[in-house]
Structure 1
Amino acid sequence: MSNARVFAMKFSKVYPLYVQKAERKNRTREEVDQVICWLTGYSPAGLQEQIDKDSDFAVFFAEAPALHPNRALIKGVVCGVRVEDVDDPLMQKIRYLDKLVDELAKGKALEKILR
């Protein structure tokens, strides 16, 4: 899938998939929200607003209040791609989010996920 297609994907369509993935592993929607808010700086209300607005990933990250300064500490592989090696800044942010949700679903403690 091209970067442009990924950037145009609606966050509101992907968000339930993040929640489903976490819930299958006995994690909660609140924990998914906490991870997303940690990365992006959104408040829970701001996150819900983005979902309600049907923002795509490009808008979702462009309007993020404050990306967490420790996001560069997120390392590892998502979908066969090492997140720290992704060249496109927006795609890297998306991969960071994917990696955090993966770690949550794998049972990693929130304290370790939120570096």
Structure 2
Amino acid sequence: QSENEAQQIHNNLYIYLLDLDREEPKNITLNLYIPGDDFKQKLAHICGAITQIQKRTHSNGTILELFFKLGQLLETQNWQPSARRELYSYFSPRKARNVWKIAQRTHQLFNIR
């Protein structure tokens, strides 16, 4: 299975590169703390922050950090359908699909590095 995962990541590498803004990398330190006592509270906090994203005022690093945190949180639930349903309750169906995919890609990208 790890070979399939490696092939999938290799196939998606171009997408990952497009997701980045191609800026010179800076020293990236991620604060992995998410306020909340349980999965639902933490998810509510992150989804609230994602809905407040404004591309003009938020740096790419801040946006990536939010999606990485979301990916880390979803990973604690093993990306289960119940976690997906909970995430989808915060967004429109199309936006929820995009948020899910971005969280997965960001999580994969940073775990590879």
- Give the TM-score of the pair, scaled to structure 2: 0.31
Does 1 or 2 have the higher relative contact order (CA < 8 Å, sep 6+)? 1
